Structure 1
Amino acid sequence: MTDAIIAFRGLGLAYERDGTRNVILSNLDLTVMRGEFVVIVGESGVGKSTLLRVLIGLAAPSTGTVELSVRPGCRTPMALVFQDARLLPWRRVVDNVAFGLEGGGLSRAERRAKAAAMLKRVGLADLGRRWPHQLSGGQRQRVAIARALAVDPEVLLMDEPFSALDSFTREGLQDEVQRIQAETGKTVLFVTHDIDEAVTLADRVVVLAGKPGRVAAEVRIDLARPRRRRDGALLEAARLLRAELSRDSAEL
């Protein structure tokens, strides 16, 4: 991690509703380094998901700048994985994964071959011919991750992707995402409200707090990988992060 790939400078976002101005983010500064796994945490409504939507262009900032430094020739700077998989029910699994490759000059066979390779990467090599309704919730999220990886983004954005899953499936997918990030070297910006998930995944945890939201703290998680959830050092990191969240919420 030697150079910055994302930089928010003085970012602010506000909107008008029923004659009232609502300020979601204000004067937010944040830099993400290339290849870094950054997790954003904070209370509901503080602007965690909004930050991702600004980055990918789904929301326009009111003030400040967003800088993205991608490598020359990059066709897809970012891909976003949502809380729900958002698969197309009329397409088989392999064709859902290949969806983002359409219009990119690849033949149907090439698109399907790349989609099949991504399904193998997320552990679903044998399920490409199934329909979305034939999959479990965890399998559908794996397909969503495969679809995002298929377009080979420099930055993988993940907006609470495991929050609707049971704890066993959730932990399995956390391990999967760590493995994929280690294999690909992708930059990951991951939003969650779960402190244990944050310290399990992150190189660095960014705490958003306040109304409007801003960066209240940054906590580096300097623990070896793969991480064991019951490890004393990981539990202590979670305790310290909870204390930081409580302190920042009280001060803002």
Structure 2
Amino acid sequence: MADAIIEFRALGLAYERAGVRTVILSNLDLAVARGEFLVIVGESGVGKSTLLRVLIGLAAPSAGTMRLATRPGCRTPMALVFQDARLLPWRRVIDNVAFGLEGSGLSRAERRAKAAAMLGVVGLSDLAGRWPHQLSGGQRQRVAIARALAVDPDVLLMDEPFSALDSLTREGLQDEVQRIQAETGKTVLFVTHDIDEAVTLADRVVVLAGNPGRVVAAMRVDLARPRLRRDRALLEAAHRLRAELSRDSAEL
């Protein structure tokens, strides 16, 4: 892929504990285009989250190569949003968002100004002075997204960020993250086990399967945005993806 911002070739990851070697990922090939919204789906334990951790440097691959074409000199090429918002309870919202900018050389006023701008992006400007315990689950996740955006990463990694939320809040945040991606042009890698969420969000869905995990299928979702969840074309895309997952599970 000529415009790839991320490229894995024959990537593998294994660890050894008590003399037993466990292989998590093997011979994994994947390229992600700049500005793409890529969703990774697969069963629990197949290595979806592990792949994000390899990207951000929290896990080291044991085989293969990884190439990143992020901006030269970019201080934080990638930022990761977890399933849990992981806000610091002793910091107000604006200072949670500014946390990743500490050590950047910006003054406190500059950090807070940038944090305030990112709270505006996620629609929480009026909550800047609140404490984390005063927020709903959905609001906390939006603060976590603002914190990730504040460091201006080239790639936004999202590890099942909405899975612990109720369905109404989840749908609202799905719409929000699509809007943010469209406005910022960020490359997004989003991990989920939810098929409907995958086709609602993705430009392209990649299926991980097997033991060890590897890419077994990919499907483009060439539907206009914003997407209506009960639109026939979207439902058909979800049906095709479920069929692909069932077929791959049966063959492995």
Which TM-score applies when normalising by structure 2? Answer: 0.99
Offset at residue 72 of structure 1 (A): 2.4
Cα distance in 2 for residues equivalent to 1:18 and 1:54? 23
Give 5+ residue unaligned stretches, structure 2.
none
Q: What residue number does 2:51 align with?
A: 51
Q: Deviations over 1:172-225 (max 9, x none)?
A: 000000000000000000000000000000000000000000000000000000
Q: What residue number does 2:30 align with?
A: 30
Cα distance in 2 for residues equivalent to 1:159 and 1:115? 22
Q: What residue number does 2:129 align with?
A: 129
Cα distance in 1 for residues equivalent to 2:54 and 2:15? 13
Q: Deviations over 1:85-141 (max 9, x none)?
A: 000000000000000011111111111011011011101010010000000000000
Cα distance in 2 for residues equivalent to 1:154 and 1:243? 33
Offset at residue 19 of structure 1 (A): 2.1
Superposed, which structure 2 residues align to 1:86-235 within 5 Å?
Answer: 86-235=86-235
Paired residue secondary structure (2:127): coil
Cα distance in 2 for residues equivalent to 1:120 and 1:184? 13
1:100 and 1:150 in contact (8 A); partners too: yes
Matched to 1:248, the amino acid is: D
Structure 1 runs (4+) deviating above 6 angstroms are none
Which TM-score applies when normalising by structure 1? Answer: 0.99
Offset at residue 2 of structure 1 (A): 6.3
Matched to 1:9, the amino acid is: R
Deviates more, 1:68-77 or 1:131-140: 68-77
Paired residue secondary structure (1:126): helix
1:206 and 1:215 in contact (8 A); partners too: yes
Offset at residue 148 of structure 1 (A): 0.1
Paired residue secondary structure (1:24): strand
Cα distance in 2 for residues equivalent to 1:22 and 1:157? 25
Cα-Cα RMSD: 0.9
Q: What residue number does 2:242 align with?
A: 242
1:2 and 1:34 in contact (8 A); partners too: no
Pair 1:82-2:115 in alignment: no
Cα distance in 1 for residues equivalent to 2:85 and 2:66? 27
Cα distance in 2 for residues equivalent to 1:83 and 1:243? 27
Paired residue secondary structure (2:177): helix
Cα distance in 2 for residues equivalent to 1:189 and 1:248? 22
Give 5+ residue unaligned stretches, structure 1.
none
